[in-house]
Amino acid sequence: MATYLDRIIASHRATAADDTRDAVGLEAAARSAGAARGFESALRAGDRLAVIAEVKRASPSKGPLNPGLDPAAIAGAYERGGATALSVLTDTDFFEGSEGDLRSARDATLLPVLRKDFTVSAHDVLDARVMGADAILLIVAALSDTELAEFLGLARSLGMDALVEVHDEAEASRALSAGATLVGVNQRDLFTFEVDTGRASRVGASLPREICRVAESGIRGRDDVARLADAGFDAVLVGESLVRSADPAAAVADLAGVARTAAGAARSR
């Protein structure tokens, strides 16, 4: 049975197959872009659990979340609230995002920015650096082992970090084999789109101590963040509850005050 991710990835692979741009010129542009802000290093710093606050207009399951969203304004609010980093959706067809959203959000703050999109080609990695992203998302379920290693290596050569997203222990093993040091555990089921709030703790327990761990999906309040801190996570990525909030700065501040566990604090040093 095809998952929502299968449909999205098929669309992105079709687009990549039709991409006739000059690879040499694109790589030159990526390598001449300004220095990236350290995404993973920011998540590892400090004695509080890091909050990656997401700029997100819509989702395939929920539809419009904040149709009138101003990327610069909400990014500034996130920074004032104590966010450690930003995640910006740039997928247009399924999430109504854009490259412009990422540029606007990054220009409005000093925070490192993750390009939240569906990376399926080397051009996607290069595009991310050209538009100013400091990190890319690599979804293990969407990529072969060869692609994972290739895109991870290319990102690093461009000065970017890569958040390698997994859904179970088998995918976590593949991420580690590819050389990932920053792993996100997505608690949303690929088949049902439902959130399993125990998934992060289960899968996170399989990761080595030195891995920087990010929990994704289903994080709505301080109690969720505290539970994930107790499970040894270093950061949480939060989208829907923040973009729907009447006061995004206050919503981030509520999440950003949770202390790391001793294990998480040790990994940050």
Q: Is 240 a catalytic residue?
A: no
Q: Is 62 a catalytic residue?
A: no
What's the Cα-to-Cα distance from 215 to each of 43, 52, 68, 142, rounded to whole Å?
Answer: 12, 10, 27, 19
Residue type, 193: F
**Active-site residue among 27, 40, 96, 165?**
165
Within 13 Å and on the Cβ side, how many CA atoms surround 186?
A: 19
**Active-site residue among 27, 56, 99, 121?**
56
**Active-site residue among 27, 99, 171, 216?**
216
Residue 22, C-beta contacts closer than 8 angstroms, at least 6 positions apart: none
Q: Is 186 a catalytic residue?
A: yes
**Active-site residue among 40, 116, 121, 240?**
116
**Active-site residue among 27, 40, 54, 171?**
54
Long-range contact set of residues 22-29: C-beta below 8 Å, sequence gap at least 24:
23/122, 23/123, 23/126, 26/123, 26/126, 26/127, 26/130, 27/126, 29/126, 29/130
Q: Is 54 a catalytic residue?
A: yes
**Active-site residue among 66, 87, 121, 217?**
217
Residue type, 227: R
Given 3-state DSSP classes, what are the helix, strand and coil percentages for the chain, each rounded to the nearest 5? 45, 20, 40
Q: Is 66 a catalytic residue?
A: no
Q: Is 165 a catalytic residue?
A: yes
Within 13 Å and on the Cβ side, how many CA atoms surround 72?
A: 5
Structural element, H or E, at residue 101 = helix 99-107
Active-site residues, by number, are 54, 56, 116, 165, 186, 216-217
